[in-house]
Chain A
Amino acid sequence: MRKICLAILLGCFQMTVFSQPTFPVNGVADERDVTYAFTHANIVKDPQTTIANASMLVMNGKIIAIGTTVNIPADAIIVDCTGKTIYPSFIDLYADYGITSAQPAGFGMGRGGGFGAAQLTSNQKGAFGWNQAIKADVNASALFNTDEAKAKALRESGFGAVLVHQRDGIARGTGTFVSLASVKENLAILKETASAHYSFSKGTSTQSYPSSMMGMIALLRQTYLDAKWYKNNADKEGVNLTLGAWNRAQALPQIFEANDKWNVLRADRIGDEFGVQYIIKTNGNEYQRVQEIAGTKATLIVPVNYPAAMDVEDPNDARFVSLSDMKHWELAPTNTAALDKAGISFCLTTADLRMPNIFLANVRKAIENGLSESKALEALTITPAKTIGVSEMVGSLETGKVANFIITTGNVFNEKTSILENWVQGNKYSIHAEKWVDIAGSYTLNIQSEKGNKSMQLSVKSAAAASIIGTDTIATKFSHDGKIVKISFSPDKRSRGGYRLSGLSNATGWNGYGEDAEGNKLTWTGTLQSVAAAIEVKADSTKRRGSGPLGKVTYPFTPFGWSDAPKQETVLFKNATVWTNEAEGKLENTDVLVKDGKIAQIGKGIPETGAVVIDATGKHLSPGIIDEHSHIAAASINEGGQSVTSEVRIADNLNPDDINIYRQLSGGVTSSHILHGSANTIGGQTQLIKLRWGASDDQLKFQGSDGFIKFALGENVKRASSSQGNTRFPDTRMGVEQVLTDAFTRAKDYEKAIAAASTVTTTNAKGKKTTTVADPYLTVRKDLELDALVEILNKKRFITCHSYVQSEINSAMKVGEKLGFRFNTFTHILEGYKVADKMKEHGANASTFSDWWNYKMEVLDAIPYNASIMTKVGLNVAINSDDAEMARRLNQEAAKSIKWGGLTEEESLKMVTLNPAKMLHVDNKVGSIKVGKDADLVLWSDSPVSIYAKSEKTMVDGIIYFDREKDAAMRKDQTRERNRLIQKMNGEKRAGGFMAPATPSYTTILNCGEHDHSHGILTIDQFQ
């Protein structure tokens, strides 16, 4: 017979009371040094070490002994854990616990980067830093309050300690590591200052800057520099509490909330620049780019918040749910297994879950999808402990460590296993007391009343089912919650009323009070006679549920993503009309050989050896289209928080998942110049990309190209269309000229200061001077904003300037000429035709729209003849899109110059190929069909300047990224895959799973504010 240790199961009181010496006692002191002995347990000390039939001693909240040969002190309270398993309790580095969310520091209007009124300075009062989103001065330990409701929920999922911080701001100050015991905060804090936190979210900051992803990155980079500079220059800065706190927190584990696969890479790159290896909190989509993520070498904090299946039964609802959303639903539970396979170190967190109580179920789902149990356990115990350097305290069960452990009925990852108790700092918290003992068995019920004694046999099947065994078997209403036992039954099948018994469960059995059918009082006892044969729960019975093969991860993880990426091949285009853009012009019936990503040979009758031959008879081969002005493939475009934001870089936030990359390939585009928006006079650094569909953000970059930067003039920068008025300088074109003058004047002074500080001259006693090289940034604040302007002055960075009216174009050029820099390109430049001669003299290129006009005041004089006039005056002219839709048919836009102003067909094609290549300084690589240049080519069904031309194949670096035939096949596959997933979701609905309503998959189209046309019903146009 099993021994029932009911005594310790009764009640859940605080058995270990630590006293705090400084706190007066109101009453009689109650210090206890009780030792608990957990015996005969299966103890999982750490994921690698399990000891059977072991004991563990706990005193004063610590483990004082553990093993198979532990001496149990005579005064120990013994908890017999036969059949039970003890695990270290779990650790969550990203729990929502104990810190109330921050409230905005004051009302501000400047949140958006759009046309709202700006809040240019911080409204946080005190000796803090300039930016309200840098809250490095916040210490979670000072904000921490225990929260019994949340603690209970986390303990029920097996957690014993959590790292908490205030989730507010881009820099969030320090985190504190706390236990989930319901004790005074002083005792619950295990490590006061345990971590430093960062994110890509402004939180409650109402300050205008930063308003974009790239602005946040720039702000973090500048803050690292400022903090370093502040160490030696506090006299110049004054007390800056924010930077001081930032510096002190640098020695701590640095945790970055990234929440997206690309953000993981973005965060890691910031860390690389400043010698910091972040620990990165993700959102569970890392499996979509697991190789790149592995490259960060970061330990990840990974949530298990899988999206719910969507209710797509109605085909009208299903219509607007994108394949990528459905695939993510299917593949999200495979995320951690993918991380494990890629050798990435990670912790698991309850963060982002709909309800914390689904945590373990979701971890099980991950295990069903290939995550090993030992890895799961590591991710919940030792990995988080090591990650933040608290493994000497928690994370495994060893002598001297905090007594944080759970007692379970078996393998914690088994669906049938229950967590019985969760001990935190030596305090017991019952979770499923009723399951400690399997109460199934045969009992004798003795009922005593005035009517005499009665005895009957009760057969208990479970905590909720029992029946009386006599001549008839009588079902009862039975419940046993570990403490209270309730039984009601009719003595025989005919009677309507019956016995109602209620009692308590204790070490020897049950006893209680009750009434019979007539209302007579009675007392009763229940005694265990024999235990039911135990049902063995297999150690690892977690089933790998078969649900058919899962979909594949595609690159990118979007429709038309590759499961097998196209490869570079030797390709021979046979018999094409070749638009060379070179002196030889248009060549009929000509072959072009592509080898190793380059144009290898142009001519007639090139031998076919080893090449993939494409019959181009009747077709036209042109250089790939280059879009000088594009806003695709980026997470943000406008940093409108200030008038000068030369520190921000589009390159920091490229987004290779933008479907517009593929769509534009279908229109023959091979390179796009991704520009910052036009919200400010000096905008951000741009990035030239090649449309390598499926590549990572870094691989999109056009290697070896010159750096550019976006400037803007006119209505957008003076916020003319703001509905709330403008509070940001400049508000006029006069002010715009001053912003330019001021910025470059400051840049020149800065450059001089750096030069002066780069050497130190000392004079010795004899008057001899020695000059040594010095780090100028020890005294001069390194300013990312001015660095970019200095690059312009030194011809290492080049300007493309959004501009419309002649006065502003002229003035900008004059500022440049005076201060020693040139405008490389005027983009949009709809009144370029009015000052084409001056632009030529200045040496500027022109990139314009074919025929946009009259959508705002500054374009009333825009004319479609603009490109032709500028060309005829002798400028290098390009036609740009500034528009995700128009970029798909930029060849048509170029061809309009044949109508408007009578350019030749070849001249017009050059405006979207060779001319933009020249103005982007990459005409040595692309822009024409010439031996040695990159094989960025388009095979057209018709003349590329015809409205009827369709791109049949678009090639970048010799790789065919768009192929109209392949595209048709992909669509068919996609339809099948969509249908499979819709059926699978419907299956989930029939099975009664949790369903979310079908949510249309919207696309955000970023633009620079020039838009007065719709992109479709599922797009959100954003000037942001």
Chain B
Amino acid sequence: MKKILFNLLACTLISQVLVAQDDVYPAKKQDAPIVIVNGTVHVGNGQVLSNTSVEIKDGKITNIGTDIAVPAGALKVDAKGKHVYPGLILSNTNLGLLEVPSVRATIDETEIGDYNPSIRSIVAYNTDSRVINTLKSTGITFANIVPQGGTISGSSSVAQLDAWNWEDAAYATDNAIHMNMPALYIRPNPYAGMMGRQMQQEDPIKKGLQEIEEIKKFFREAKAYGVQQQHESTNLKLQAVQGLFTKKQKLFIHCEVVREILAAIDFKKEFDFDVVLVGASESIQVAELLKQNSIPVVLNQMHALPTLADDGVDQPYSLPAQLQKAGVLFCINDEDGMQRGKNLPFQAGTAAAYGLTKEQALSSITLNAAKILGIDDKTGSIEKGKDANIVISNGDILDMRSNIINFVMIQGRIVNLTDKHKQLYERYKGKYGIN
């Protein structure tokens, strides 16, 4: 029986930093059972199980309980005094599509054109992005890779964050089509300051409604196209959205204000799509309608300013608690371009400071995210039968003081937590002789 202690893991880390990051390999497939023992297990569905062990075989969670024997040849991970969580899920990100926002050559997130449903993010997902490894340091194991721009941007796929290549990374492929709702409010003009005042726009709401009609026309034609098996002229765009009609795909509608949300609900009503709202900073205003129509929300950026000076100073922070109370399914995302997504648990933590319980906040970055992305059959919680996507933190994962992650498992593989940051840290600790 092998026994791994955390200090041993730490030693492994130090030895690994001596090599360049290009040599940080994805972990090998699980070859022996692993039992994480005596941890406080946060299931992801609201439950907390103390002093509980989790057994993992062939990449799956095979048993959870207080009296699990560690089989011979199994690896025992002692989680006593530590917290065991499902791997965290970033639900809307350009990870792997964009490396350095200010360098054009490193940007692969927005294709030319308005209707690009056949564009697939996963084919451009760069598993060697320097950002990916840093995310694991706060407990993130999955990311929904989303193409940007246009009216229909294309399809997203969920990547697991320990992969050799994009095929390897693909955890759910083309799970959602992304649509940007035409703006149904007067948007600010970025040049207003320079020009001294707002430039007059033509009625943007009328224009937006016309564009929405166009989108509906597209989906009506796609539906008609799907009825026919054979086509004289093959249409890749219409073909690409057929999964929406069979519910193999969801329609993620990026929108913000009430009128746009109402228009999004229309898509559910007319086409019976599985509609998910992304952003929806004004969703609380029509929460009842969202609940009635079972439309969930991806809250894109918790760490944001209140919309209007009149809004409460804690407006974005308290929105999750309001949606929770209203019975709307939501998940919390982190799309911050400066911190590059790694503060996901702290975005949820802030929501907990402003009204969610800690376990609700955890669900918003684990199980609820999995539900919304359509991967909750495989992950999102620590439950028997699910993939072993597990993170162990020294303490509360939502609080930056105690989010100390030394163990991350994806599909049963114990992944290497070295990243560029840690390598540079070690290098300069060495230079100055500090600890």
Contact = CB atoms under 8 A, between A and B. Distances in A.
Interface of A: 111-112, 201, 316, 319-320, 322-324, 558-560, 659-660, 662-663, 666, 715, 720-721, 833-834, 836-837, 849, 851-857, 860-861, 863-865, 869, 872-873, 884-886, 888-889, 892, 895-896, 898-899, 901-902, 905, 942, 945-950, 967, 971, 974, 978, 999-1005, 1010-1022, 1024
B268 interface: no
B194 A659 contact: no
Given A869-B425, A947-B401, 13 more contacts: A316-B185, A319-B308, A322-B309, A323-B309, A834-B428, A851-B343, A855-B100, A873-B434, A885-B304, A948-B349, A950-B354, A1000-B188, A1013-B336
Nearest to B303: A885
8 contacts: A316-B259, A849-B338, A853-B338, A855-B338, A974-B310, A1015-B305, A1020-B189, A1022-B190
B103 A898 contact: no
B210 interface: no
Contact of B340 (A854, A950, A1014, A1022): A854
Interface string B76-99: 000000000000000000000001
Contact of A1020 (B188, B285, B307, B336): B188
B301 interface: yes
Given A324-B309, A559-B309, A1016 B130 contact: no
Contact of A948 (B256, B305, B399): B399
Contacts of B336: 1013
A677 B104 CA distance: 24
A857 B107 CA distance: 13
A1020 B193 contact: yes
B346 A892 contact: yes
Contacts of B256: 1017
A872 B422 CA distance: 16
B237 to A, nearest CB: 29
Contacts of A888: 313
Contacts of A974: 310
Contact of A1022 (B103, B193, B281): B193
Contacts of B354: 950
Contacts of B434: 869, 872-873
Contacts of B314: 666
A1013 B300 CA distance: 11
B308 A320 contact: yes
B258 A316 contact: yes
Contact of B304 (A559, A1014, A1024): A1014
A720 B420 CA distance: 25
B421 interface: yes
Nearest to B307: A1016
B424 interface: yes
A323 B100 CA distance: 40
B347 to A, nearest CB: 10
Contacts of B400: 892, 895-896, 898-899, 947
Given A662-B313, A1015-B305, A1024 B186 contact: no
Given A316-B259, A889-B350, A1020-B189, A663 B313 contact: yes
A1018 B338 contact: no
Interface string B186-223: 11111011101010000000000000000000000000
Given A319-B258, A855-B338, A860 B100 contact: yes
B313 A112 contact: no
Interface string B328-358: 0000000111111011001001101110000
B312 interface: yes
Contact of B338 (A901, A949, A1012): A1012
A693 B309 CA distance: 14
B46 interface: no
User: Which A-B residue pairs are the 8 nearest by beta carbons?
Assistant: A1012-B337, A947-B349, A856-B102, A659-B309, A666-B313, A865-B425, A863-B421, A1002-B188
A856 B401 contact: no
Given A854-B130, A947-B346, A1024-B194, A721 B398 contact: no
B424 A111 contact: no
Interface of B: 99-103, 130-131, 185-190, 192-194, 196, 198, 256-259, 281-282, 285, 301, 303-310, 312-314, 316, 335-340, 342-343, 346, 349-350, 352-354, 398-401, 403-404, 420-422, 424-425, 428-429, 432, 434-435
A601 to B, nearest CB: 31
Contacts of B435: 872, 902
A860 B131 CA distance: 10
B182 to A, nearest CB: 14
A905 B401 contact: yes
B426 to A, nearest CB: 9
A885 B186 contact: no
Given A316-B259, A851-B339, A1013-B301, A1004 B309 contact: no
B403 A899 contact: yes
By CB atoms of chain B within 10 A, which of A864, A899, A1021 has the most? A899
B309 A1003 contact: yes
A537 B349 CA distance: 71
A389 B306 CA distance: 51
A901 B425 contact: yes
Among B187, B403, B421: residue with most chain A CB under 10 A: B421
Interface centre among B285, B305, B424 (most CB of A within 10 A): B305
A112 B193 CA distance: 10
B349 A323 contact: no
A653 B360 CA distance: 45
A1007 to B, nearest CB: 11
B167 to A, nearest CB: 25
A1004 B189 CA distance: 10
A613 B54 CA distance: 51
Contacts of A901: 425
Contacts of B424: 833, 861, 863, 865
B308 to A, nearest CB: 6
B156 to A, nearest CB: 19
A1005 B306 CA distance: 13
B401 to A, nearest CB: 5
A942 B338 CA distance: 27
**Residue in B256, B259, B313, B314 whose Cβ sees the most chain A Cβ within 10 Å:** B313
A409 to B, nearest CB: 39
Nearest to A863: B421
Contacts of B312: 967, 971
Contact of B353 (A949, A1011, A1022, A1024): A949
Contact of A663 (B102, B259, B306, B432): B306
Contacts of B186: 999-1000
> Which of A849, A974, A1001, A1018 counts the most chain B CB atoms within 10 A?
A1018
Nearest to B256: A1017
Nearest to A1004: B193
A873 B353 CA distance: 34
B431 to A, nearest CB: 8
Contacts of B130: 854, 860
A316 to B, nearest CB: 5
A715 to B, nearest CB: 8
Contacts of B193: 1004, 1020, 1022, 1024
B421 A865 contact: yes
A837 B404 contact: no
Contacts of B103: 856-857
B339 A852 contact: yes
Nearest to A201: B196
A905 B335 CA distance: 28
Given A869-B429, A885-B305, A946 B399 contact: yes
A641 B188 CA distance: 25
B309 A1000 contact: no
Given A889-B350, A967-B313, A1015 B258 contact: no
Q: Which of B101, B307, B310 has the most CB of A within 10 A?
A: B310
Nearest to A951: B313
Contacts of A1020: 188-190, 192-193
